[in-house]
Amino acid sequence: MRMRSIGLASVVMVISLTALSSAVSTARPKFYRDDPLLREPESQDAQKAERSDIGDLYEMMYNLFVNPRYKPSGTRARNLNTIDEVPDSSWFTNRIGARTLTVDEVVRGPIVGDPPDPSRWTIIREKDVGVHPGVTARDANGETWFLEFDPSYYPEAATAAVVMATKFFWALGYNQVESFLTTFDPARAAFAPGATIRRPNGKRTPFTRDDLNAVLEHAARRPDGTYRVVAGRLLPGKVLGNFRYEGTRPDDPNDFVPHEQRRELRALRVFGAWLNLTDLKSANTLDTLVTENGRSIVKHYLQDVGSTFGMCNDLHEWDLSWEHFYQGNTTVKRFVSFGFALSPWQTVKYVEGPSIGKFEGDRFDPRTWRPQTPTTAYLELRDDDAFWAARRIAEFSDETIRGIIHTGEFSDPSSEKAIADIVIKRRDKILKVYLPAVNPIVTPALDENNRLTFENAAVAADVAKAPEAYRAAWRQFDNATGETRPIGETTSGTASLEAPRELPTENGSFVAIDISADSPAWGTPVRTYFRRDGDVWKLVGLERMPETIATRVAGSSVKSETQAR
Amino acid sequence: MDAGRTWRIVAIAGVVAGLGRAAAAQSLEPQSREAVVEEAQAARIANLHPYAPAKGERLMDKAEKLLNGTTPSWHPFFESAYRGGGFALGAGYLQHVSSFNFVDVRGSYSVSNYKRAEAEFVAPRLFHRRGELSVLGGWRDAPETHFYGVGTDTTLEDRAFFGFRESHASALLTLRPARRLLMVRGGFEVARWSLDGGTGSTPSVDNVFTPVTLPGLGTTTTYLHTRATAGFDWRPSAGYARRGGFYGVTAHDYHDRDNQLGFRQVDYEVIQHVPILREAWTLSLRGIARTTALKDGQQVPFFMTPSLGGGDDLRGFSSWRFRDRNSLLVQGEWRIMVNRYLDTAVFFDAGKVTAHTSDLGFHDMKSDYGFGARFHTPIATPLRIEYARSNEGGRLIVAVSPVF
């Protein structure tokens, strides 16, 4: 009996401790004084991070044959601040959409240094990433560059794609390599004394003129014997290999959000569809260890964005952007029909031109666009992630797009125009698909006269009609307990609503407002939170979609979307 | 102390302890969002470690290195000693001896007791990437090779067996003077063929024929074989192609050191792949004619005569089903791209063997049809499974190379 009593008492104690601990943990406020966070801190030193690369074969097999059985979590991205935005980080910098970028700024893109001096290239080794021919070389100033040539069948197209894509992705917020269009004259090329190339036996031996000739044989040669190249500047810091589209780096303490839960990586499905980034894979990314503010941090780059626009790995790849390398449903369809069940890529009309490649916008549908293989982050995309991405794309004006495409330096103006027209067409399709797909209330503000104003991103982009009315349900919000108390409801035919009279006035008080529209698609309210800071209301929270939504296994969604097409 | 009192004391102590812990915890609670993030980052410090690939990833990385051929490696080898040997299983070991050159030692054993062992040295990058040299030495034993007689009028009931062992050493140099399109190839081989009656359930050739009625029967012959090829090849790869073609002529001279069974042979081959609708389909056509010419007073031994039948030509017929001094084969395939790694195809083969070149026409040809699947990479076809049907029945073909 005694033993039984002590045992019972112990259980009670454990229960009380547990209950109190959980009470402590749930007592965390919903909003902190520094919300919304504008920069994701890197508080720990990552100097022990080591190089790790992902094998091409492994990544391809995993993405093609494991990921189709992946069931997306359906959860909201986990690297967002409280107003549903992605804070700046070692992954991402808010640029277009967060501030006004001039056309000149976007056209300059990631470039901060001087272009290479191409008067004499000194080759130091082969180019070991990407499918198009290239070498690693030092320019006449002794700076190291990665040179990539146009394949013979796509003169100007591959080099232009790299330059243009780096500017788009830079403006979208990603870390990019500084890339310049320049010239390579083999007659004036030299070989560094220690220049080597990896041979089939796995060993490195001296880089020879014949090795260079082997590269140039596959490159588009100009009539004067020179070659147009895109030169990518060597990234600063210690190379740590590729980042993965799922999980975290186990050697980076600051990397605590699984990559598939990072919105900017999920959103590459939308940005990739827009710019046709078909080779979306870890092998085209790079982590480097750099020192910032006296601390080693890991910086994450989209390193190779050259498989964009009309570029593909080979002249005869017609299915790129329409199908993954392998899809079960299309395999079965073509198998049983002896190929007569045609897939869209077999009949789609591309704009003709070797400097354009295979690019089109008429049959493009961002929902059915496919990279070569699906990454986990790609599969995790939710409508709110896509909406976030579409808003950034909406910020690219026709003028900005044409300005970027002009940096491709096409000798044929019609190629430049054709690519720009297609990018604009694809932009408009993305906006039409993703902006109205969720309640598109953005930039809510509560002014000193207690008037709530906001914008409708879909209406502003002219891809949806304004609703008959907007409705706002007002609640007082207790930041400590999370409890709400209804204050009242107001409606308006415009994006401007008056607040109920009972709005709290004391400093530090919170109000939660559910904003919805008289529209079936936008009936689900966007919940916004404002905090009274002195005499003004500050937006501190925005929730566009539930924390978790129902999902299906990835392969089944591929099937249904393809069939819908 | 009674049990009830104990219970109360312990419970009170528990609550007090809990409250104390809560108060302490509250003082450690982060006071800002930044602190919340820093807390999560700090929590990872204790468990930091370098990336360690899981077993599946390690296996894939190993496979990738093996496929790239950058490490000395064992590899499977499925090629039989001779056509008709049935499923063969074997292994090889590839070792680079310099930056590009390698030696591959391999062997196989088939369900029909065919044996093969050989070593090959390959120099794939000669003359500034214009040439490739292969030096091969080996031995093979095929104890159960079919022979149905000469001509196309033979029947299945005529089937007999013979066996042979061959030791051979050869060198083959391929040159592409412009590195593409034009291809010339020359080679030299020493081969010693030893024939015997073979093993099988049907009669041995020794029981059906005599050396007079069947030249080469029971002989041991040493050939000095020279060959030369000239052709145009604009296929992306001979191992797998959906476009391009090959047009070539190969001349052989088989010199018998005993001046009994020497002869000359010329092969004319045409391959054309016609892509349709962005290579969704490919119409693949092949024609190959082989003619032999006698040397003075010598004969073409039966085991060296051009033949048809088997998984690479007349697929609906048994291996070596038809033999004679000359042969003609035409093949057509409608290939369907199912996905990037799998093609299916329906096909039609027709061919004939003749005693005289003047009879090599398109009449009275033996034919078959069928369908199949091919697992391929951009440059190779490591597995081909087909079913072919002819007037002599159906045949399942499993091969580790393209048909053409």
CATH number for position A525: 2.60.40
Mean pLDDT for the stretch of residues B117-131: 97
Q: Is the pLDDT of residue B15 over 50?
A: no
Question: Would the CB atoms of A33 and B31 count as touching at under 8 Å?
Answer: yes
A35 to B33: CB separation less than 8 angstroms, yes or no: yes
Residues A531 and A384 in one domain: no
A56 and B15 in contact by Cβ < 8 A? no
Select from A10, A20, A249 the Cβ nearest to the Cβ of B18: A20
* Percent of chain A residues topping a pLDDT of 70: 93
Q: What is the pLDDT of residues B106-122, one digit of tens each?
A: 999 999 999 999 999 99
- Predicted pLDDT of residue A520: 85
Half-sphere exposure for A380 (CA within 13 Å, toward CB):
23
Instruction: Kindly provide the ipTM of the predicted complex, given to two decimals.
Output: 0.87
DSSP state at residue A282: G
Tell me the two tokens of residue B357. Answer: 């070149």
Residue the block writes with tokens 């569809």: A273
* Averaged pLDDT, A451-460: 97
Distances (CA, A) of A246 to A53, A242, A259, B269: 14, 12, 5, 52
Computed over every residue of chain A, the mean pLDDT equals 91
Both A514 and A399 in one domain: the answer is no
Q: Find tokens 């040809």 and name the residue.
A: B365
How many angstroms separate the CA atoms of A73 and A349, rounded?
Answer: 37
For A488-526, b where at least 16 C-beta lie within 10 A, e where not — what string? eebeeeebebebeeebeeeeebbbbbbbbbebeebeebb
Alpha-carbon gap, residue B85 to B108, rounded angstroms: 11
Q: What is the pLDDT of residue B27?
A: 53
Q: Cβ atoms within 10 A of the Cβ of A90, count?
A: 21
Q: Are residues A160 and A253 in the same domain?
A: no
Is A275 a member of any domain? yes
Last residue in a domain, options A169, A204, A236: A236
Q: What is the pLDDT of residue A133?
A: 87
Q: Comparing A231 with B18, which gets the higher pLDDT?
A: A231
Q: Do A12 and B342 touch (CB under 8 A)?
A: no
Of A200, A318, A323, the CB nearest to B70: A200
Q: What is the pLDDT of residues B28-66, one digit of tens each?
A: 788 999 999 999 999 999 999 999 999 999 999 988 887
Q: Are residues A268 and A416 in the same domain?
A: yes
SS3 content of chain B, % helix, strand, coil (to 5): 15, 50, 35
Other CB atoms within 10 A of residue B289 CB: 18
Per-residue pLDDT reduced to its tens digit, B254-297: 999 999 999 999 999 999 999 999 999 999 999 999 999 999 99
A284 and A382 share one domain: yes
- pTM of the predicted structure, to 2 decimals: 0.89
Q: What is the pLDDT of residue A313?
A: 75
Identify all chain A residues contacting B70, using CB atoms and an 8 Å cutoff.
200-202
A307 and A423 in a single domain? The answer is yes
A143 and A280 belong to one structural domain: no
Subunit contact A9:B44, Cβ cutoff 8 A: no
- Alpha helix positions (H), A395-492: 398-406, 413-434, 457-460
User: Final residue of a domain: which of A218, A236, A254?
Assistant: A236
Query: Are the Cβ atoms of B7 and A40 closer than 8 angstroms?
Result: no
A531: domain range? 441-543
User: Per-residue pLDDT for A271 more than 50?
Assistant: yes
Whether residue A9 is predicted with pLDDT greater than 50 in this model: the reply is no
**Distance (Å, whole) CA B72 – CA B65:** 10
**Which of A168, A298, A167 is CA-nearest to residue A244?**
A298
- Whole-angstrom CA distances from A293 to A41, A44, A296 are 12, 11, 8
**Which range (A136-150, A550-564, B6-20) has the least confidence?**
B6-20
**C-beta atoms of B21 and A52 within 8 A:** no
- Rounded CA-CA distance A122/A136 in Å is 9
Q: What's the domain count of chain A?
A: 3
Q: Average per-residue pLDDT in chain B?
A: 91
How many angstroms away from the CA of B265 is the closest CA of chain A? 37
CATH architecture of B71-399: Beta Barrel (2.40)
Asked if the structure places residue A494 within a domain, the reply is yes
Whether residue A32 lies inside any domain: the answer is: no
DSSP B349: E
Could you tell me if A445 and A511 lie in one domain?
yes
Residues of A with Cβ-Cβ distance to B30 under 8 angstroms: 28, 32
A3: pLDDT strictly greater than 60: no
* Residue A186 and residue A118 share a domain: yes
pLDDT above 60 for B360: yes
Compute how many other C-beta atoms are within 10 angstroms of the C-beta atom of residue B69. Answer: 16
d(CA B273, CA B224): 35
As a whole number of angstroms, the distance between CA A119 and CA A105 comes to: 28
In angstroms, the CA A339 to CA A319 distance is 14
The arithmetic mean of pLDDT across residues A503-524, rounded, is: 93
CA distance A171 to A419: 18
Q: Domain ends where: A176, A211, A236?
A: A236
Q: Residue A290: pLDDT above 90?
A: yes
Q: How confident is the model at residue A521 (pLDDT cuts 50, 70, 90)?
A: confident
From B340's Cα to the closest Cα of chain A, the distance in A is 6
pLDDT of residue A127: 86
Query: What CATH number is given to the structural domain containing A326?
Result: 1.10.1070
Residues of B in contact with A48 (CB under 8 A): 48
Task: Verify that A279 and A357 share a domain, yes or no.
Answer: yes
Which of A1, A51, A57 is the best substitution to test chain B (most B C-beta atoms within 10 A)?
A: A57
From residue A481, how far is each of A31, A323, A485, B127 by CA, in Å? 11, 49, 12, 80
The pLDDT of residue A15 is 36
Q: Which residue has the tokens 């010419």?
A: B293
For residue B379 the two structure tokens come to 């440059």
On whether residue A15 sits in a domain, the answer given is: no
Interface test with B, best of A51, A131, A201 (most B CBs within 10 A): A201
Peptide bond into A36 cis (omega under 30): yes
Environment class of B386 (CB within 10 Å of its CB; exposed 0-12, middle 13-18, buried 19+):
buried
> How far does the CA of residue A59 sit from the closest CA of chain B (Å)?
8
Residue-level pLDDT at B69: 67
A265 Cβ contact list (under 8 Å, min separation 6):
A91, A245, A259, A375, A377
Residues contacting A185, CB < 8 A, separation 6+: A118, A121, A225, A226, A227
Size of chain B, expressed as the number of residues it contains: 404
Does residue A4 carry a pLDDT above 50? Answer: no
pLDDT digits (tens, 9 = 90+) for B310-333: 999 999 999 999 999 999 999 999
Count of CB contacts below 8 A, A vs B? Answer: 208
pLDDT recorded at residue A551? 86
Q: Compute CA distances A517 → A258, A436, A451, whole Å.
A: 34, 12, 17
Decide: helix, strand or coil at residue A134: strand
Whether the predicted pLDDT of B243 surpasses 70: yes
A372 and A485 fall within a common domain: no
The lowest-confidence range among A380-394, A436-450, A548-562, B284-298 is A548-562
Q: What is the dihedral of CA B366, B369, B370, B373, to 10 degrees?
A: 90
Our CA angle for A412, A416, A422, nearest 5°, is: 140
> Does A29 reside within a domain?
no
Question: What is the rounded distance in angstroms from the CA atom of residue A171 to the CA atom of residue A176?
Answer: 10
Place of tokens 């219970």: B7
| pLDDT score at A20 | 31
Position A112 confidence tier, pLDDT thresholds 50, 70, 90: very high
Residue of B nearest to A50 (CA): B50
Query: DSSP code of B151?
Result: B
- Give burial (CB, 10 Å; 0-12/13-18/19+) of B371: middle
Q: Is A11 within the bounds of a domain?
A: no
A338 and A425, same structural domain? yes
**Which of left, alpha, beta for A338 (phi over 0: left; psi -120 to 50: alpha)?**
left
The mean pLDDT of A369-388, rounded to a whole number, is 97
Considering the domain boundaries, does residue A35 fall inside one? no
Predicted confidence band of residue A16 (pLDDT cuts 50, 70, 90): very low
Region A150-167: mean pLDDT is 96
Q: Which of B354, B359, B347 is nearest to B390 (CA)?
A: B347
How confident is residue B71, by pLDDT bands cut at 50, 70 and 90?
Answer: low
Q: Which of the 8 DSSP states describes residue A151?
A: B
Reported as a single tens digit per residue, the pLDDT across A496-508 is 999 998 899 899 9
Q: What is the mean pLDDT of residues A263-275?
A: 98
